[in-house]
Chain A
Amino acid sequence: MSPGPALVAALLAAAPGPSALEALSEQLRAQVVAAHPEPPVAVAVEASSAALAETTAALVATRLGESGLPAVVIGSGEDAAARARSAGARSLVRLRLQVAAEVLGAGELRSVWRNFWAGRAAPETGPTRVLSAAVPVDRATQLLAAGPGQGAGLVLDPAPLARLPVRTAALATGDLDGDGRPEVAVLAGGEVSVLDGAGSLLARHSLLDLPPAATPAREPFGTLCIGEGRLVVAWARADGSLALRLQGGQLVRGTGGGAPTLGCGASAEPASFAPGAARLVLARGPEREPLWGGDARAGHRLLLLPDGTARWFQPGSEVRVLRDVGAGAALVSWRGEMRVAASSAAAAPAEDRLRLVGPGPEEPSVAVPGRILQVCGGAPGPGPALVLGLWTADGGSELRVVRGPP
């Protein structure tokens, strides 16, 4: 996956003056035209990402076309000359790009036309001209060069925080042991586990002794909340909920519990599990349709609807409808403002995307391998960070962390 064309276009348009790639393409165009190659010309570009290679090749080909040299884009590789010939080209521009403080483009222009009478083993002709150009790098080029999963705003930690053999049903972060640092609580496979910031298991508690729900949900589903040193657990396969405390390395049952909630803490709204389905139904208010889930905090409410849309209620503002929002979405406080961290609504993607939606322009999304089913702010570690509950194709799951720049 590469950054969306709309995003790249927006970045290119937002740049003052011509972008780095346009300036580079212009220099290369001038050099090619000056060599008077035989048309049509094939353009092949090799770069650190497919997106950067494709964009540059398209730009160079367009500029050559505007100069009266018809050009086609072909893929790079050892057999570029053969593919240029099959594409009907008589000349080939072959470039390699390097992105650092400057964008450097270097390569060659050569003829790929073969005289019919030369026979099957016609000698290759050498380059007609060596091409080289360099311009200062800009943000759009850096974004393209970074390739998939490396959005300008969000970065996925390379290693999972934890791997589980079963799928996650709910996720929460918060300080359970009073040490001032957040722990991660995860509900999966009929038990709730608490992990430290490094992903090591601190304690676990089985839920299999809870009375079963009359109509349990097939998909792993539940809610977890950490507050005032308590972990409140509601599981869609059990009747009722329970509160746990982390004491002496064990999760011990405390008093209280209650029902599942939308969000946690003072803003939490009471809810119930829809019978037999991984859906949440609010106990109060006009919105009574089954939800994939949602969040509530500090005057904000987020409702995730099974049609892949989300309703974001903001204080003193109109309701915002967000499209393509999956079941993994939450309200997160991100650099002082409330945002929605949202997965995609795609059906069982091999690679999901997480994006941050806020009042301003949307930041580039980050690609995450697996299906994002839970999103939770307040991940352990430096800078703003989110913990994701990801379902993997083998039936297990991973906890992964996505961070913003510190």
Chain B
Amino acid sequence: MRRGAILVLLAAAAPLEARAAARARDGGTLRLAVLPEVRADRWGETPEGAALRELVAAPLCRVEGGGRVQPVLASVQRTADGVSVVPRPGARFSSGAPLGTAELAQAWARAVERSPVARAALGPVRELAPTLEQQSRGKAAGLLLPLAHPWPDLEVSLCHPALAPVLGDGGSDGVGPYAPDGAERGRAVPAFPEGRPHPDGFLVSTLARRAAQRALETRSAQVLLGDGGEAAAPALFATYLVSRPQARPMVSLLETRLDRPALVRSFVGSPAAAMPGLLPPSLGGPERSASAGGSPGRGSGTALLLYAADRPGQRAVAQRLQILLRDAGVSLRLGARTPEALDRDWRAGQGDLALRSVLLPPVPAAALAVVLELAGDPGAGRRELAGLGALADERERAARTRERALQLAGALPVVPLYVEGLRARLDPALVDVRRDAFGLWTLDDAWWP
């Protein structure tokens, strides 16, 4: 009794630390302001869209800034034949269904239908479609992926947000630290394998640029997605111009007129950089292009360029390319598509040229695999990657990949244009928001004192 009284007295006499927060505090609502184009990115293909989408559809694993792969929803184990992807116990979709190997196989079978990045990541798997089809009906502990050739970077590729498991075609039933609660809200999931996020929920407001900036300044939003960014952060969202064989003369006309730095300055905006090589500078690609020889030639004819309508940068660049080709005597028509329709229509043979933007994996060989997938020649791509995958040493493989990327640059129907980083700003009061190796913010650790 006496001890208790003394304790009360001492505690009352000592003013408590008002902002004590050596450990994270739980509670509150994480408020995000996003620009309309970020909201339109339903599948999280842009860095901003991916950062937002990861709140409700976490990736399989996370590649930390230092390159270490950290399991989130599944661990990847090497087998004699390939790899086994083992979902973590406790991982459940927001609808309540557990994440099993069948659900993972079904999710990936859908992902490869809409995403070139997913096709590239799973490209080294032998007989991919039958393998996924067969295992989408089973209940094995691990999803077995036999490999057609050695591929040491598979673990990194499998962490790509494009392979985040989602149930069904709606795109909203993922396994995330938050469960969607309507279109604009999410609520913390207590049983998420990495633990519930610290806020009780999140709230997304779709705002015009000025309104979103003002929301951050007045602290009515803590995260702004779609504006700002750090030039020094990894920039891996690469945009390429892909072409059909009949459009190659037009590409040649463009290349002599193309000023990538001016394109970035005037039509893309920071954080972005010109990308003269197939690999971006952050993966060791060249920063300056060799000067194009000869005077700009002239041509004739018409062509159709497909681009993603809800990406303002792509629209502006497409219009710029249209002007450049008009100056060369070519009439370029622009075909706006949703990102999913763009991939589908291009693969179905529509269009002569297309702008393709992809978030590259943060290692050179896996990034080159995406470029080869965009080139659209699976056989040649597999032969190229088999040679690179045979190099077990990481540095040797990266160096050889850079070398091959330089050699392939003129031969592939893929013209590199520019690369962008995450456009986002944060309230400085937020704690524990980090970047992963893709340059994306991990928002599900965020809290504030």
Spell out A's residues near B (CB within 8 Å). Answer: 165-166, 189-190, 208, 211-212, 214-219, 236-237, 275-279, 286, 292, 306-309, 311, 318-321, 323-324, 326-328, 343-348, 371, 373, 394-396
Partner of A218, one of B20, B68, B198: B198
- Distance in angstroms from B8 CB to nearest chain A CB is 10
Q: Find the B residue at minimum CB distance from A396.
A: B66
Residue of A218, A278, A308 touching B17 (CB-CB under 8 A): A308
- Interface pair B449/A347, CB less than 8 Å apart: yes
What's the nearest-Cβ distance from chain B to residue A288, in Å? 14
With A212-B89, A307-B17, A319-B10 known as contacts, the answer to whether A343 contacts B194 (CB < 8 A) is no
CB closest chain-A residue, reference B20? A308
The reply to whether A323 and B16 contact each other, CB–CB distance below 8 Å, is yes
Whether B26 and A277, one on each chain, are in contact in the complex, defined by CB atoms closer than 8 angstroms, is: yes
Residues of B within 8 A of A189 (CB): 70
Q: Name the one of B23, B68, B75, B190 contacting A327, with C-beta atoms under 8 angstroms.
A: B23
Nearest B residue (CB) for A214: B191
Interchain Cβ contacts under 8 Å between A and B, 8 examples: A165-B64, A165-B66, A189-B70, A219-B195, A307-B16, A309-B11, A347-B21, A371-B22
When distances are taken between beta carbons in the complex, the residues of chain B under 8 Å from A309 are 11, 14, 16-17, 20
Closest Cβ–Cβ distance, residue A61 to chain B (whole Å): 33
B88 interfacial contact with A, CB 8 Å: yes
A321-B14, A394-B65, A394-B434 known; A278 vs B23 contact (CB < 8 Å): yes
Contact A212 B193 (CB under 8 A): yes
What residue of chain A has the Cβ atom nearest to residue B86's Cβ? Answer: A208
| B83: interface (CB < 8 Å) | no
Other contacts beyond A218-B198, A276-B26, A319-B7: 14, CB < 8 A: A190-B71, A208-B71, A215-B195, A216-B195, A217-B195, A218-B197, A237-B195, A306-B23, A307-B16, A308-B19, A311-B7, A323-B16, A373-B22, A394-B66
> What residues of chain B lie closer than 8 Å to A190, measured between beta carbons?
71
Separation in Å of the B202 CB from the closest CB of chain A?
14
Q: Which residues of B contact A212 (CB under 8 A)?
A: 88-90, 193
State whether the Cβ of B15 lies closer than 8 Å to any Cβ in chain A: yes
- Give A306 to B24 CA distance when docked, in angstroms: 10
Check if B3 is an interface residue, CB within 8 A of chain A.
yes
Give complex CA distance A214, B90 in Å. 8
On chain B, the residues within 8 Å of A394 by CB distance are 65-66, 434
In the complex, chain A residues whose CB is within 8 Å of the CB of B17: 307-309, 323-324, 345
Query: Which chain A residue lies CB-closest to B190?
Result: A215
Contacts of B431 on A, CB cut-off 8 Å?
347-348
Known: A211-B89, A216-B193, A218-B445. A292 touches B22 (CB 8 A): yes
Main secondary structure of the interface of A (DSSP, over half): loop
Does the CB pair A218–B195 fall under 8 Å?
Answer: yes
Q: Decide if A347 touches B22 in the complex (CB within 8 Å).
A: yes
Q: How far is the CA of A370 from the CA of B19 in the complex (A)?
A: 18
Verify B190–A276 contact, CB threshold 8 A: yes
In whole angstroms, how far apart are the Cα atoms of A309 and B65 in the complex?
34
CA distance A278 to B70 in the complex (A): 20
Contact B14 A307 (CB under 8 A): no
Q: Count chain B residues whose beta carbon lies closer than 8 angstroms to a beta carbon of A.
A: 42
Closest residue of A by beta carbon distance from B2: A318
Known: A311-B7, A324-B17, A394-B434. Is A218-B449 also a contact (CB below 8 A)?
Answer: no
Contacts of B65 in A (CB 8 A): 394-395
Closest to B71 in A: A208
B262 within 8 A of A: no
B401–chain A nearest beta-carbon distance, Å: 24
Give the Cβ gap from A260 to chain B, nearest Cβ, in Å. 16
In the complex, the answer to whether A345 meets B194 with C-beta atoms within 8 Å is: no
| Of B4, B23, B192, most A-chain CB atoms within 10 Å | B23
> When each residue 184-203 of chain B gets 1 if its CB lies under 8 Å from chain A and 0 otherwise, what string results?
00000011111111100000
Question: Is the CB of B348 closer than 8 A to any CB of chain A?
Answer: no
Cβ of A309 to closest chain B Cβ, rounded Å: 6
Residues facing A in B85-105 (CB within 8 A) are: 88-90
When chains A and B are docked, how far (Å) is the Cα of A217 from the Cα of B195? 5
Does B432 lie at the interface of the complex (its beta carbon under 8 Å from any beta carbon of A)? yes
- Interface centre among B22, B71, B445, by most chain A C-beta atoms within 10 angstroms, is B22
Q: Contacts A208-B75, A347-B21 known; A215 to B66 CB distance under 8 Å?
A: no
Interface string of B21-57 (1 = CB under 8 A from A): 1111010000000000000000000000000000000
Interface contact A166-B68, CB-CB below 8 Å: yes
* Minimal Cβ-Cβ distance residue in A for B6: A318
Is B66 in contact with A306, judged by CB distance below 8 angstroms?
no
Chain A residues with CB under 8 Å of B20's CB are 306-309, 324, 326, 345-347
| A349 (CB) vs chain B CBs: closest residue | B22
For the complex, give the distance between the alpha carbons of A328 and B22 in Å.
Answer: 8
Chain B contacts for A275, CB-based, 8 A:
190
Instruction: Decide if A166 touches B22 in the complex (CB within 8 Å).
Output: no
B65 (CB) vs chain A CBs: closest residue = A394
Q: Tell me the minimal C-beta distance from A329 to chain B in angstroms.
A: 9
A319 near B23 with CB under 8 A, answer no
Contacts of A318 in B (CB 8 A): 3, 6-7, 10
In this complex, what residue of A is CB-closest to B90? A212
A217's nearest neighbour on chain B, judged by CB, is B195
Residues of B within 8 A of A292 (CB): 22-23
Q: Would you give the 0/1 interface string for B61-86, flagging 1 where the beta carbon is closer than 8 Å to chain A?
A: 00011101011000100000000000
Assess the B10–A323 pair: CB atoms within 8 A.
no
Tell me, in angstroms, the Cα distance from A346 to B167 when the chains sit together.
42
Which chain A positions have C-beta within 8 A of B21?
A: 308, 345-348
Give the CA-CA distance A343 to B17 in the complex, in Å.
13
State whether A348 touches B70 (Cβ < 8 A).
Answer: no
Q: Which residues of A contact B190 (CB under 8 A)?
A: 215, 275-276
A404 to B418, CA, bound (A): 55
Nearest CB on B from A168, distance (A): 13
In Å, the complex CA distance between A255 and B194 comes to: 27
Q: Which chain B residues lie closer than 8 Å to A215 at the CB level?
A: 190-191, 195-196
Nearest-neighbour CB distance to chain B for A186, whole angstroms, equals 16
Q: Which residue on chain B has the smallest CB distance to residue A371?
A: B22
Taking a contact as CB atoms closer than 8 A, the residue among A218, A279, A319, A346 that contacts B22 in the complex is A346
CA distance A371 to B191 in the complex (A): 27
* Contact A165 B89, beta carbon cutoff 8 Å: no
Q: Return the 4 tightest CB-CB contacts between A and B, nearest first.
A: A308-B20, A218-B195, A308-B17, A326-B22
Give the chain B neighbours of A277 by CB distance below 8 A. 26
Most-contacted residue by chain B among A214, A306, A311, A345 (CB, 10 A): A345
Q: Do residues B196 and A321 form an inter-chain contact, with CB atoms below 8 A? A: no
Say whether A237 contacts B22, CB under 8 Å.
no
Complex CA gap A311/B3 in Å reads 12
Chain B positions 385-424 with a Cβ under 8 Å from a chain A Cβ: none
In angstroms, Cα B151 to Cα A79, docked, is 61
Q: How far is the CB of B391 from chain A (nearest CB, A)?
A: 24
